[in-house]
Structure 1
Amino acid sequence: MSLDLLFYAAAVPAVILVGLSKGGLGGAFALIGVPLLAMVVPPMQAAAIFLPILLVMDLVALWAWRRHNSRPTLLAMLPGGILGIAIGWATSAYVSVNVMRLLLGGISVLFALRYFVDAARQSAAMEPAAAVERPVAATLWGTLSGYGSFVAHAGGPPFQVYTLPLRLDPLTYTGTSTRFFAIMNAIKVIPYFALGELGTANLSVSATLLPVALASTLIGARLVHYLKPRIFYPLMYGMVLIAGSKLLYDGITGF
């Protein structure tokens, strides 16, 4: 792969978008990042280049959000997330990534649209009631998130489908999301390495993009601190809608 201007013209914006997402500004940015990089390198190589970057971003984000977490939510979703990665590894040679993109995208779009329709029907003074923790639902959505994360770095929408209705405060939500995906990405190193995707060439490219990754993650984390819940939640649901639409588009055009 030639590290020319065209590569960096795609790679730098892609890393910035993923960094802002890692900082707490929503999974849609992350979903745009890998396809953008895949415009100049093969898709699997793009995902492999991003994984070490994601791991470093996770360390920065974990430090930035070290005081914020919903332990019950994290513990409820982790078993499913780990199971989803295992299923993705076991079926990586048989299941189409595009099928998974269509499934995740369709669910995400319907989920986000329902929120905006319900919000339009309610008076401005009313807030929707927060959902309670549901172990079965957490396992289901955690599994889809882990699977989507493994096959396409697209675990955000299923995670949000379960967690957003809990209506955690923005800082707690972001801290919980940061911990969940940091654990998912760390686990993914094993299957990615076993599949031969973490060779010296890809790791060297990842290293050249790390400064951009670190800066954008810190910027994203700082911006979230200024978002009020009445702004944060519509923004997050909007990100889910964008992310789901992007997944649908990628799934349809990938066939």
Structure 2
Amino acid sequence: MELSVATILVAFAGVFLIGFMRGAFGGGFAIIGIPLLSVVMDPVTAGGLLAPLFIAMDLFALRYWKPSTWSRPDLALLLPGLVIGIGLGYLLFRVLDHRVIAIMMAAITLVFVGLWFVGGGKVTIRSRSSPKAVTAGLASGITTMVAHSGGPPLAMYLLPLGLGKEIYAGTTSLFFTVGNAIKAVPWLLLVKPTVDVWILMAICLLAIPAGVWLGWRLHGRLDQGQLYRACYGLLVVTALKLLWDGVSGYLA
């Protein structure tokens, strides 16, 4: 990676966008900003750059997503699977074809959103399920470690619960705060950032406060229905990005 003005500007914009998503939706849509970073660096380097920055975003976001916004019963079910999933993701990162994981996750996400659309796009409240929560946590741990795309599995569990918008965002935020803290060290071991990457990381820290704050302001302007529709829309974008990453990898 060359530390040029173009690289700094593009990376800064990508981190700002990811921070904005963290402030607006609690996290889980980091992959939306990764295409920008991929313009100036390879995806693995981008992953190493983002891993510590995610922690900074999480700490800043906790100013807004306080303990009163956390769904503790759901987190108690989700977090054990997340921890195990990150460990499995670390192993799979070294041995498994990442394109397969991306395509599978994209297909499952598109089916989930398609069923919601066919059902009239309504927020249908379903009961909490331990097996579904553990599965969602496990899948999110694997995909967040492999591709920084842990949002879809978590959203597929939380959205049907019909949580209030603050509880949804706060629970998502804390979930990824734990996950990002755990996966930072494995990512840094895999990538081993250069001096230029560390310098770029320090510069991009400046994009985080404004990005998270503006996202939080947007969250305050959306009602629950609008927030949920936005989340489903972002799931489609995320799934299409994953699908493109997987398929294009075979065509390259």
TM-score, reference length from structure 1: 0.92
Which whole-Å CA distance do the structure 1 matches of 2:27 and 2:173 have between them?
11
Q: Of residues 133, 137, 140 in structure 2, which corresponds to 1:142? A: 137
Structure 2 residue aligned with 1:215: 210
Structure 1 unaligned regions, length at least 5:
121-126
Structure 2 residue aligned with 1:103: 104
Structure 1 residue aligned with 2:21: 21
1:204 CA displacement: 2.1
Tell me whether 1:69 sits opposite 2:70 in the alignment.
yes
Q: Which runs of 4+ in 1 moved over 6 A?
A: none
Structure 1 residue aligned with 2:32: 32
Alignment of 1:187-226 (within 5 A): 187-226=182-221
Q: Deviations over 1:164-223 (max 9, x none)?
A: 000100000000000000100000123123335345442221111111122101111121
Structure 2 residue aligned with 1:91: 92
Check the 8 A contact 1:10/1:36 in 2, yes or no: yes
Aligned residues: 249
Which whole-Å CA distance do the structure 2 matches of 1:76 and 1:180 have between them?
11
Tell me whether 1:232 sits opposite 2:227 in the alignment.
yes
Which whole-Å CA distance do the structure 1 matches of 2:123 and 2:33 have between them?
32
1:60 CA displacement: 0.9
SS at match of 1:92: helix
1:107 CA displacement: 0.9
SS at match of 1:195: helix
Q: Which moved more, 1:1-10 or 1:141-150?
A: 1-10
Q: Of residues 170, 173, 179 in structure 2, which corresponds to 1:175? A: 170
Structure 2 residue aligned with 1:113: 114
Check the 8 A contact 1:76/1:135 in 2, yes or no: yes
Q: What percentage of aligned pairs have identical amino acids?
A: 34
Structure 1 residue aligned with 2:245: 250
Check the 8 A contact 2:86/2:183 in 1, yes or no: yes
Which whole-Å CA distance do the structure 2 matches of 1:176 and 1:216 have between them?
19
SS at match of 1:50: helix
Structure 2 unaligned regions, length at least 5:
none
Structure 2 residue aligned with 1:2: 2
How big is the alpha-carbon RMSD for the aligned residues of Structure 1 and Structure 2? 1.7
1:5 CA displacement: 2.6
Check the 8 A contact 1:113/1:241 in 2, yes or no: no
AA partner of residue 181 (structure 1): F
Q: 1:149 to 1:186 in 2, by over 3 A?
A: same
Structure 2 residue aligned with 1:123: none
